[in-house]
Amino acid sequence: MKFDELEARMRAIESANDPVALPDVHMVARIDGRNFTRLTKETHKFEAPYDERFRDFMIQTTGHLMQCGFRILYGYTQSDEISLLFHRDETTFDRKIRKYTSVLAGEASAKFSILLGDVAAFDCRIAQLATGQSVCDYFRWRNEDAHRNALNGHCYWLLRKQGKSSEAATAMLQGASVSEKNDLLFHAGINFNDLPAWQKRGIGLMWEVYDKPARNRKTGEEVAALRRRLKTELNLPIKEEYGKFILSILKFVANPSQKSKEFKQ
């Protein structure tokens, strides 16, 4: 068999199950840490339930993913996961899902490993969302999941620090109501409502346009050049207001001002 024939046959086999994202739908990637409980609680022993150094590693990894070749409108991270909202018209790799998942998982793993100084791995999946409301629902889901995880995490690690075993702490929280969990923390001197918002609701990263002082090379005149940079938000809105916040990102992209179109990265 000639090489060209062999290559065509092998490429056909290789791409037989190579789905692409539908056109005109929103894509959201969710990137999750693999075996991060052991990595962060046993191998490297970050502070439990939350550690600012780990938080900053996740922020830096999210920022890296937003600048690795895709048009990402919004990044969100909580715990050991990252969600990325693509521009609806993203066409990199002809929207082949395999390419998105492999590249993003690889980039996240590499970046976090460099920050940690040890091997860390992430996996990735792509959700296809037909409407802006579905995009809002997705991010509200992750926002509410962060809130639930924060309450459970603070309760669990309080019990562990009080000497309870992992099994005992889990059993004590099994079936407990939100009110009972809040009471458990309150009696230990922790008011859940007063905890940092980033622990309870996660962290958002978005692009902002700003004026950067510059000089016209021809005239020498001082001018303002439009640039963009990533902004990190540690105090995200919640519930309905968070949904409106996500919609505002989509609406801005759908109807950008002329000024925003002209910025250079």
- Clarify whether residues 169 and 126 are in a common domain: no
- Is residue 174 assigned to a domain? yes
Domain limits at 208? 19-138+197-265
Mean pLDDT per 10-residue segment, the chain (265 residues): 80 75 95 95 94 98 97 97 97 95 98 98 97 96 97 98 96 96 97 97 93 77 82 95 93 55 37
Calpha distance 116→113 (Å, rounded): 5
Please indicate, yes or no, whether residues 23 and 108 belong to a single structural domain of this protein.
yes
- 41 and 172 housed in the same domain: no
> Looking at the DSSP assignment, which residues form a beta bridge with residue 125?
30
Residues 102 and 209 in one domain: yes
User: Is-cis flag, bond preceding 213, omega within 30?
Assistant: no
| 4 in any annotated domain | no
Residue 78 counted as domain residue: yes
Q: 109 with 162, same domain?
A: no
Q: What is the CATH number of the domain that holds 62?
A: 3.30.70.3000
pTM: 0.88
- pLDDT value, residue 261: 41
Return d(Cα 226, Cα 148) in angstroms, integer.
40
Cβ-contact 128, 19 below 8 angstroms = no
**8 Cβ neighbours under 8 A, 6+ residues apart:** none
Q: Could you say which of 196, 215, 242 is where a domain stops?
A: 196
How many domains are there within the chain?
2
